[in-house]
A and B are shown apart, each in its own frame.
Chain A
């Protein structure tokens, strides 16, 4: 009976009900999209790092994880030295140059990097032939509408796309290592070196050996590096997330508050009627609470559905820059956010309704 009244009340004002649901949905979508993007982009980075096919990464000890800056702290003479180490089958140096976030340009030795990745498949075009050649991955090509022969201006130079490769191998944009070294005034220098080990069980031995022989450098297994690509290891990201969650609760709160507040004002008479029939203040508050919690649940579900929509939008528009993951683990949290906003928003209107004088409501127009 009470639930029926709640549903009829919500149906009675479809526009207000719809707007409240949309507002809650919006805040839920906001949270899920931000979480999905941070997870998605980290995972994308992780996948590409894994796609490089390396088992061990050799870096300067001062280097930060991930797609380093423009720094090139290593001498490329280390590559042949590392390649002669026991169990190391390939050593490939990479020079990374950060472009506008989140892209970076990779200077690579195509032959070595390709062998390490177990072959890089060209969707169209082929390997480098001249100095101005650039290889891009399919996501970047899609986002920037590039095809073989397209020209890209980068680092005060015009590049020509010579090949488009499948995504998920190391990076999105590749040029020849010496060309990038020249352009960035880093002759003979590289950012890090990827090592392939003959068998997985030999990886610890290789790492141990290198740490002993080259104590001045950073040596990590790929697994160690990958585990650093997670949201909870990036403090700025977790703070950012908390802010977004806070904003979402606030949006939910404001809309449910307005919705319930106007509902209480508008329903002075109905509340008076219920009181005349013997409804206690708790009964009245209970009805309002159920109304707003129902709004919150519907809003959360709509918000979850919307997050599939934003994911689709990112996928068709900027697949190379932003990747959104669908994060079911966050769905209960999103629901809690919506419920919390709704609960807070109902407090004051509920108290107001409970205190309302029945006589005044019933006797006047």
Chain B
């Protein structure tokens, strides 16, 4: 194996909407090295989220090859994709997507619980919490937190099981400039200090600039 975290060759994804076929991905080639922070930019409808969903094991690819951390995603069953979501990938969404009935700490804990991760909070994760600056807000429920705080909790949740790959879909789409910069700084810190591999989707060039490398998508293909 190389030290590629992600290896994508001629990836295709076709959605069937009734009788209509929607070609969301038309042959994507992409390699992301371990420890790399890559931004995927492109207009709305260019297929970014579809790529995100495939890499996260939320939907199966139609054709091509996708290797994630050495695993062939095309061959996975539904159950294996569930397993992939437990430990191999961590998600950050535009809309935070915290469970509203649980506190920040519990939102992080339930991700651990679902993954069957019984280890005590480790030094590595303590460092994450430090970086996130959340220590005094952990007992609050999401609705008592600002968008920036919620997104930082979501990052902590995404990282608690030490995923090989952190996937972020428009993580700053709902945040003001100050909070956006805070979150983006955090992602860069995580990448630099902990060598966390990150793929971030964004249509905002300023956000993309935080990454090591920017990949552009158009009409289901990588254009540069």
Contact = CB atoms under 8 A, between A and B. Distances in A.
B86 A12 contact: no
A274 B111 CA distance: 8
Given A1-B110, A2-B113, A359-B53, A278 B101 contact: no
A270 B101 CA distance: 10
B115 to A, nearest CB: 6
Contact of B97 (A9, A11, A273): A273
B145 interface: no
Interface in A1-18: 1-2, 4-5, 8-9, 11-12
A276 B82 CA distance: 8
Nearest to A279: B114
Contact of A276 (B58, B79, B113): B58
Contacts of B59: 359
Contact of B101 (A11, A275, A279, A359): A11
A269 B110 contact: no
A358 interface: yes
B49 interface: yes
A1 B106 CA distance: 8
Contacts, number: 71
B53 A8 contact: no
B56 interface: yes
A9 B86 contact: no
Interface in A339-365: 358-359, 362-363, 365
B93 interface: yes
A277 B100 contact: no
A277 B111 contact: yes
B85 A5 contact: no
B49 A274 contact: no
Contacts of A278: 82-87, 114-115
A9 B101 contact: yes
A278 B86 CA distance: 4
A77 to B, nearest CB: 82
Nearest to A7: B101
Contacts of B102: 4-5, 8
A262 interface: no
Contacts of B157: 277
A358 B114 contact: no
B106 A277 contact: no
Contacts of A358: 58
Select the residue from A272, A280, A283 with max chain B CB neighbours within 10 A: A280
Interface in B104-119: 106, 109-111, 113-115
B203 to A, nearest CB: 14
A274 B109 CA distance: 12
Contacts of A362: 58, 93, 95, 97
Contacts of A280: 79, 82
Contact of B49 (A269, A270, A363): A363
A277 B113 CA distance: 10
Nearest to A6: B101
Interface in A245-290: 269-270, 272-280, 283
B194 interface: no
B53 A277 contact: no
Contacts of B100: 12, 270
B58 A4 contact: no
17 contacts: A1-B109, A5-B99, A5-B101, A5-B106, A5-B110, A12-B100, A270-B100, A270-B101, A274-B110, A275-B82, A276-B85, A277-B86, A280-B82, A359-B59, A362-B58, A362-B95, A365-B95
Interface of A: 1-2, 4-5, 8-9, 11-12, 269-270, 272-280, 283, 358-359, 362-363, 365
Given A270-B99, A278-B114, 15 more contacts: A1-B110, A4-B102, A4-B106, A5-B102, A5-B110, A9-B101, A272-B97, A273-B97, A276-B85, A277-B110, A278-B86, A278-B115, A280-B82, A283-B114, A363-B169
Interface of B: 49, 53, 56, 58-59, 79, 82-87, 91, 93, 95, 97-102, 106, 109-111, 113-115, 157, 169
